[in-house]
Amino acid sequence: MSNLLPLTLKVNGEEKTFLASPHASLLRVLRDNYYWDVKCGCEEGDCGTCTVLLDGKAVKSCITLAHNCAGHEVWTDKGLGYNDEITRMIQDAFVECGSIQCGFCTPGMIVAAKHYIDHGGIADRKEIRKAISGNLCRCTGYNKIVDAIYKVAVELGREVR
């Protein structure tokens, strides 16, 4: 029953075919195939380190079955950074604002931030906190992460007046 089945996904803009068991989570398939920017924290849907975009929406890849995504489009932080201007801005802001300490939560945080900005997110610290509420950070105390996302929202002219 645990045979490997071919699975075609579009990852970071490239069409890829993997061999994956029906039991494999999207997180496992991604990490097994060297997408190591997708981090594995809790494995139970709590910590958000494994967050990726699935068809443009942030999801936790550890509680998403890989075969569930067949034919769909997945973007990780790294792929987005090379291809997407908004993500680039978020990544730069994380560096400039000192939002990275150990860095383990960072890829997931950036994908969560990307979802927020893509869906009309504004420069409002409370809304930003809500948007990253599915992502845990054990180092920064969150303030500098909120600063970075706030900065990007301001750069995009999304101030609240």
Name the residues that contact ligand FAD, by CB under 6 A: 45-46, 63
Contacted entry of ligand FAD, ligand FES, another protein, none for residue 112, CB cut-off 5 to 8 Å set by kind? another protein
Establish if 31 lies at the interface with ligand FES (CB under 6 A): no
Establish if 93 lies at the interface with ligand FES (CB under 6 A): no
75-83, 91-99, 131-139, 153-161 -> range binding another protein (CB under 8 A): 131-139
Task: Find the shortest distance in angstroms from Cβ 45 to ligand FAD.
Answer: 3
Could you tell me how many residues of this chain bind another protein (CB under 8 A)?
A: 36
CB neighbour list of residue 76: distance below 8 Å, 6 or more residues apart: 11, 12, 30, 35, 37, 38, 52, 53, 107, 111
Establish if 17 lies at the interface with another protein (CB under 8 A): no
Pure H helices in the chain: 26-32, 77-83, 85-96, 106-118, 125-131, 143-155
